[in-house]
Amino acid sequence: MIWYFHDAARSKQEREAIERLASQVPWMTPRGLRVDGSLRLIWDIDISTGDRTYPVSLRYPNHFPYSPPVVLPRGDSDRWSSHQYGPGGELCLEYGPDNWHPEITGADMLVSALRLLQGENSAGEEAAVPSRHKTTLGQDVRNRFSRFVITRAAVELFSMLDDGVVVSGKAVGALHEESWVNAISSILLPSGETWIEPEMPEPFRTEGWEREIAGFKWPEDVRLPSVKTPADLRAVAAERGLAIPNVSHVLLFQGSSVHVYGLGDEDGQVWRPVVIMPPPPSTRLDTDHTVLAERRIGVVGCGTMGSKIAVMLARSGAKRFLLVDDDIMLPDNLVRHDLDWREIGTHKADSVARRIQLVHPGAICEKRRHQLGGQESSGSVETLIESLAECDLVIDATANPTAFNYLCAAVAVTKTALVWAEVFGGGFGGLIARHRPGHEPDPASMRRTIEAWCTDQGKPIPRAVTDYGGTEEPALIADDADVTAIAAHAARLAIDTLIARTPSAFPNSVYLVGLAKHWIFDAPFDTYPIDVGQPTSSDAAPPLNPEETAAEFARIVQMLADHQNAATLADSGNQTSTAGTPPSQGSGDRRAADG
């Protein structure tokens, strides 16, 4: 819609307002009215203030008056004002998209431009002028390719450095299509100790591009050096008694600010990466979440469901994980998995561990490339169950009944909490559940109760087309949004369990969550809580009386004694056999056996 065609009355009003203003004030000289290639209406005007004339264009958008016109330099690429969107860009005036009203005219915009230019430039000193110029960090850096990120930990380190000392270190960079981003990895301190950036994830440190850097303090009352070449910067530093080593970047710490100079080749030009300083500290998680860092979480199944839950927990503050999965990340997994193409061909447990560490630096991840319930050796399964028993919470993200049975055994022995989740085939809903020792029946009994409840409704529970562990069965017919929705609910249930809130945010321990109208669900987000009851004494074997306990222990002691005696006799027999065998015959037998 071209506004001056659609609203001739407003077009006439705008033209007359500008002509009237020009006849009333000496600082404004209209140079003509025109349209550009997009048919936007433009007034070319000169604004004079002091001894300077500013050629400007007042450009109306095609959907005026529902958004404001802009005032920008005409044929001038210089930066006129600190209230300007870059050199040659539009001036940030009192009126903009955030406070615009259709009653404001183009003439009002020109008066605002005069106040800005007059206030900042006429007296030779900067003055406070009316403006709403507040850019975001993203706006400030969007056209800058080279960027340098400074963390809070690095700022704290810089504040403790002595004057007149050059420190060296390393930075790690990541090259993207639209940017090259560096961050400090380590600093060699004058004491000889090496400071390691605690906020940098280890995977980024090892996979990024490492460069040498140096830095020193710069006085707050001295202007920053204006240099063109690395030699210029070295000369300025030498004047202050500082020697810059052969590095790619030099950092100057000036008060609470950091300035970075990129050196490159010695004969080349110095460039200035944009420095991204840390924002003011803010609380993004409540204090209850701090306990998550102390909890150990076992995630069995690092496929679609498990990867999402694990990363959500890491973002929430959890940092100790045991990740169990033997599957490999394949291209077909990308439609739902939390990982991406960079992890194709890797074990999911290894890659999910890297993903966790990238979002939560300092996270500790133990990885087991095992399929619980698959064809693994009995010994490896036994040690895996022992490792799971050391967790504060175990999460079953496999939707595999065999794995669930093993986990029931693992949590029963050590009284460990268990959370499990699954998405129903078709992605129309899912199930989340938890078992807490002393609060709910054992997981196997809970599963029977869930299935019985569904059967009582006349709708037996629909099973997923496949498990999430990556078996070779047909793919689960559910998209990423379906799985993510159920994973988010499961993660919230896990967090509530780990924090041990009293009372719990979840009155029930089992929920059927609908994502579409199907099966038992009448509509999306239809939810059915299931009461599984309280733990009963029948969940465990009846206690023994003292005589029965003593007799049982006696049998166990005798079994261990028999085992020890058998081992002793076997060792004795081997020694006798070896002693009675001629050396040449024994050697020959061993060679034959080796062959």
3-state secondary structure 321-351: EEEECCCECCHHHHHCCCCCHHHCCCEHHHH
> Where residue 552 falls among pLDDT bands split at 50, 70, 90?
confident
- Do 458 and 349 reside in the same domain of the chain? yes
More confident residue, 1 or 453: 453
- Do 243 and 298 reside in the same domain of the chain? no
Closest CA to 161 of 254, 280, 275: 254
Examine the pLDDT at 594 and tell me if it is beyond 70: no
508 alpha-carbon distance from chain centroid: 31
* pLDDT for position 381: 74
Examine the pLDDT at 183 and tell me if it is beyond 90: yes
Examine the pLDDT at 22 and tell me if it is beyond 90: yes
Is there a contact between 335 and 517 (Cβ–Cβ < 8 Å)? no
Q: pLDDT of 9-20, one tens digit each?
A: 999 999 999 999
Instruction: Answer with the one of 276, 301, 316 that is the final residue of a domain.
Output: 276
DSSP state of 160: T
Instruction: Answer with the one of 134, 159, 177 that is the final residue of a domain.
Output: 134
- Do 192 and 298 reside in the same domain of the chain? no
Is there a contact between 392 and 434 (Cβ–Cβ < 8 Å)? no
Amino acid letter, residue 536: T
* pLDDT for position 413: 82
- Do 259 and 366 reside in the same domain of the chain? no
Closest CA to 266 of 240, 248, 242: 248
**Exposed, middle or buried, 462 (CB in 10 Å: 0-12/13-18/19+)?**
middle
Listed range (95-104, 375-384, 450-459) with the worst mean pLDDT:
375-384
- Do 194 and 161 reside in the same domain of the chain? yes
Indicate whether 565 belongs to any domain. Answer: no
Q: Is the peptide bond before 583 cis (omega within 30 degrees of 0)?
A: no
Indicate whether 561 belongs to any domain. Answer: no
- Do 223 and 304 reside in the same domain of the chain? no
Q: Do β-strands 28-35 and 167-175 pair in parallel, antiparallel, or remain unpaired? A: unpaired
- Do 126 and 22 reside in the same domain of the chain? yes
- Do 301 and 445 reside in the same domain of the chain? yes
Residue found under tokens 């958008």: 61
Listed range (212-226, 229-243, 577-591) with the worst mean pLDDT:
577-591
More confident residue, 585 or 243: 243
φ/ψ of residue 534, rounded to 5? -100, 160
Indicate whether 248 belongs to any domain. Answer: yes
Please report, for the domain that includes residue 249, its CATH number.
3.40.140
- Give the whole-angstrom CA distance, residue 250 versus residue 13: 57
> What SS3 class is residue 526?
coil
Is there a contact between 55 and 46 (Cβ–Cβ < 8 Å)? yes
Mean pLDDT on 381-405 = 90
Listed range (315-319, 456-460, 573-577) with the worst mean pLDDT:
573-577
- Give the whole-angstrom CA distance, residue 205 versus residue 82: 38
Examine the pLDDT at 325 and tell me if it is beyond 70: yes
Indicate whether 170 belongs to any domain. Answer: yes
* pLDDT for position 567: 73
52-59: strand order across its sheet: 28-35, 41-49, 52-59, 70-73
Indicate whether 172 belongs to any domain. Answer: yes
Indicate whether 559 belongs to any domain. Answer: no
Q: How far apart are the first and last CA of the chain?
A: 90
Mean pLDDT on 222-243 = 93
- Do 298 and 250 reside in the same domain of the chain? no
- Give the whole-angstrom CA distance, residue 74 versus residue 94: 20
Give the tokens for residue 295. Answer: 């909890």
> Where residue 541 falls among pLDDT bands split at 50, 70, 90?
low
* pLDDT for position 576: 58
Please report, for the domain that includes residue 67, its CATH number.
3.10.110.10
Closest CA to 201 of 323, 353, 320: 353
Mean pLDDT, the chain, rounded, equals 88
The number of domains in the chain is: 3
DSSP state of 520: T
Domain residues for the domain of 36 are 3-134
Closest CA to 120 of 22, 49, 223: 49
Please report, for the domain that includes residue 408, its CATH number.
3.40.50.720
Instruction: Answer with the one of 523, 539, 555 that is the final residue of a domain.
Output: 539
* pLDDT for position 409: 85
Mean pLDDT on 173-187 = 96
* pLDDT for position 139: 83
> Where residue 196 falls among pLDDT bands split at 50, 70, 90?
very high
- Do 123 and 178 reside in the same domain of the chain? no
Largest CA distance in the chain: 126
Indicate whether 584 belongs to any domain. Answer: no
Q: pLDDT of 273-295, one tens digit each?
A: 999 999 998 888 999 999 999 99
- Do 268 and 324 reside in the same domain of the chain? no
Q: pLDDT of 485-504, one tens digit each?
A: 999 999 999 999 999 999 99
Indicate whether 589 belongs to any domain. Answer: no
- Do 250 and 266 reside in the same domain of the chain? yes
Examine the pLDDT at 105 and tell me if it is beyond 70: yes
- Give the whole-angstrom CA distance, residue 262 versus residue 229: 10
